[in-house]
A and B are shown apart, each in its own frame.
Chain A
Amino acid sequence: MTSKRFWDWFIFPGGVWIALLFAVPLFLVLALSFGHVDDFGRGVYGFSLDNYKDVFDATYVPVLLRSVGYALATVILCLLIGYPVAYFIARYGGRYRYALLAALVIPFFVNYLVRTYAWVALLADQGLVNNLLVDWGLAESPIQMINTPYAVIGGLVYGYIIFMILPLYGSIERMDPSVIEAGKDLYGSPFQTFLHVTLPATQAGILAGCVLVFLPAVGDFVSAQLLGGPDTYMVGNLIQDQFFAASNWPFGSALTVVMMLFLAVWMVFYLRRASKGEAEVL
């Protein structure tokens, strides 16, 4: 009993940290979302629902849908690319396993904004990729790659794929390889074995990866801003514009709150599934 009390105290440093630097600012965002803008363009706290009425204005619906659509496409692509990578490293990486993982993680030490700019340079009309295509005769003239929805989704996939690979790696690595052998012993083809044995056994990692990619991808604004075209405006861009161009912090806060609630639904769904399946959570 005494020792349990002693250990309980350890929650304090982290708890105070979370309270001051996370809960309080979050509360201020929530409070400001009911506020309005004064004549100087400053946000003033208040008790009005006007901002929330505006959030559900028909204008913003396509922006929200587009953001969710891009994020879903990102999740699917990350899963299709990430699963074989994680599978290979976990099962056949051998002694290079950690070196391979490090090679995947190291690029993510570089700031996301800088990495996205690199894609602009690579994919530009006069960029490296287009120059090679034209030089090798694969294209007659430069292909427009940036300023398209594909480029935005590509940027998101590149930006967040590590959040898919790491949990997948974790669950594939922890999977008992003998279950695959058992599947084959039961005359399962490689594909059937994968579908009925490997996939269910690594379900927790898939779920974790999908949620971890989806959440930041919905709210992203960098990819659309740097790689996007005239029709790639995302909710992250909308929120950023409220703070920095429109000087309308209260409306920006309301958008943020609504988006957080929307994402929280997914988070709760994930946590429930994860705890139900008594599987490992990253």
Chain B
Amino acid sequence: MLNLIKYEIRGKLLTILGICLTVIIGNLFLMTKVSSGGIGIPLLSTVLGIGALIVISISTLTIMSDYLYDDQGYLLFTLPQSGVSILASRLITAVIQISIVGIVSLAMFCLLDQGRTWNAMLQGATLPEMLYSILMYLWTIVSTLTFIYFCMVIGRIALKGKKIGKIGSFIIFFILSIVRNGLAFLIANFFPQIVQFDSVTTVTMNIGSTLFDVMIFGLLFMATSYLLEHKVDL
């Protein structure tokens, strides 16, 4: 599994560096305009950062679709690696990729506004809240990606053809998302118990729907691993 991570990162090294460089240069350029731009400058920096994150997120999807549809899949799927190993390494690499870009964007933004926003955030925040944020950040990436990968793998197995497969995956994702959110909503209504804690922001978590989300993630992870190992036909 570690080897898979190593090679996936090496494969996308240019992309990651390219994006980071763009963010850095873009922000350096913005810094020269700080005095004259007003509120627009930090805004542009944020937009740049978000753009960078979108690009790197898309790249986490293209890696999987390359495996499923391109000749590279022959190399990966003949390795003696289990489906769990392949999926786990993919998720970990994605977290690493996104985090690198995220940290660079955030760092550049802080440089830009001289750390004012950062300090303001840190003052109000408690340790549990910071841990919670990080946990939520990781959870969002991992659970969303697993969900998308599941739809991609189903699309690959059920539908023939690259274009049809990809469009089909998207449609499946769309439909399943609605179903999933609908169910989560229903569960939240039936079990309105919540957990709440306040600090900088008030965080409200519905126990029922959170448990539901975790269960779904677990199920989809196992299902995707199984399908990758036993059902993908190249």
Answer yes or no: are A and B bound together in one complex.
no
**Residues in A lying within 8 Å of B, measured CB to CB:** none
